[in-house]
């Protein structure tokens, strides 16, 4: 879905047949200036998305962005200024802020994890645990926070998960068998990654030719053992049970990637407001 289509649907969801409050109170000819102001410090993401919301609502409005995506912002910073007709500005306010606050929240949460592992070579990566319809934007926000993107969908990589293995076990196949089967059917551009929960599975997957291993919910000492066992032969990704309190210890084990679902599915929105004045 294009960004414009996504925004149009979001506006339609909120405004529906019409903004009854604005229709009742605000003259069509009324003009206003709106300033989007940060009420919480963090990392900005989505300023151009918010600008697009206002410009779709009022094609004649004038927008000046004061801060750029990826910048650190502090309380009181003016992020953007919109000048135009008051009615569509009021009608678009919540949709614009919803996008901007959500994406900035994701960028800010990502930045916290990136800062926590600073000085190590590990990359903080996202997951597919995103809000339906918002994946491209949320993964963009992760990048603005200094993180990296994992798969965008089921189409751009092979990741053999526990439920795949559960089905295959019913057919007499193990972890190594799954890797070999996937490699026999994949196109040459795809890597094969497999979720493992034990050192025995680590051995099986490496021997079968896996390109990457997802170390799922392993304790730090077990991750260290997996790193030693892999000896640089495969890419290692740690995931599950990782938070800001222990991410540094996981990073210091020597894994290549740490995937954090919480940076998208649980990031709190960053507080912002639209301050409007008549002109």
Strand 192-196 versus strand 158-160 pairing type: parallel
Choosing from 39, 118, 161, 249, which is the catalytic residue?
161
Give the Cα separation of 83 and 97 in Å (integer). 16
- Classify each residue of 112-147 as buried b or exposed e, where b means 16 or more C-beta atoms within 10 Å of its C-beta: bbbebbeebebbbbbbbebeeebbebbbbbbbbbbb
Rounded Cα–Cα distance for residues 61 and 250 (Å): 49
In the residue annotation, 128 being an active-site residue is answered as no
Catalytic residue among 33, 66, 67, 94: 94
Has 248 been annotated as catalytic? no
Instruction: Confirm whether 129 is a catalytic residue.
Output: yes
Contact status, residue 79 vs residue 37, Cβ threshold 8 Å = yes
Active-site residue 94, yes or no? yes
Tell me which H or E stretch contains 31: strand 31-38
How many Cα atoms within 13 Å fall on the side-chain side of residue 158?
Answer: 21
Cβ atoms of 199 and 219 within 8 Å: the answer is no
Catalytic residue of the set 195, 211, 237, 256: 195
In this structure, the strands spanning 192-196 and 212-216 are: parallel
Q: Integer distance in angstroms from the first to the last C-alpha of the chain?
A: 36
Active site residue 228: no
Catalytic residue (one of 93, 126, 216, 237): 216
Choosing from 129, 186, 224, 248, the catalytic residue is 129
Q: Which residues are designated catalytic?
A: 94, 129, 161, 195, 216
């Amino acid at each position: 879905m294009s960004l414009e289509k996504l925004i149009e649907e979001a506006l339609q969801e909120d405004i529906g047949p019409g903004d009854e409050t604005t229709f009742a109170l605000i003259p069509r000819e009324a003009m206003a200036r709106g300033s989007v102001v940060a009420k919480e410090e963090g990392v900005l993401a989505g300023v151009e998305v918010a600008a697009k919301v206002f410009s779709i609502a009022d094609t004649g409005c004038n927008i000046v962005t004061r801060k750029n995506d990826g910048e650190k912002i502090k309380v009181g910073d003016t992020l953007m200024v919109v000048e135009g007709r008051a009615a569509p500005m009021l009608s678009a306010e919540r949709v614009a802020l919803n996008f901007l606050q959500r994406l900035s929240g994701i960028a800010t949460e990502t930045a916290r994890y990136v800062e926590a592992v600073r000085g190590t070579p590990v990359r903080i990566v996202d997951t597919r645990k995103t809000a339906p319809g918002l994946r491209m934007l949320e993964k963009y926000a992760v990048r603005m926070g200094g993180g990296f993107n994992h798969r965008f969908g089921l189409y751009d990589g092979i990741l053999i998960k526990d439920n795949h293995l559960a089905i295959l076990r019913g057919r007499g196949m193990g972890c190594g068998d799954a890797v070999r089967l996937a490699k026999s059917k994949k196109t040459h551009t795809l890597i094969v990654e497999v979720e493992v929960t034990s050192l025995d599975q680590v051995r099986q997957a490496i021997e079968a030719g896996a390109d990457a291993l997802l170390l799922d919910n392993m304790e730090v000492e077990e991750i260290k053992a997996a790193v030693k066992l892999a000896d640089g032969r495969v890419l290692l990704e740690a995931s599950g049970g990782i938070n800001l309190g222990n991410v540094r210890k996981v990073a210091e084990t020597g894994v290549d990637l740490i995937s954090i679902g919480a940076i998208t599915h649980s990031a709190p929105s960053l507080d912002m407001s639209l301050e409007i004045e008549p002109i």
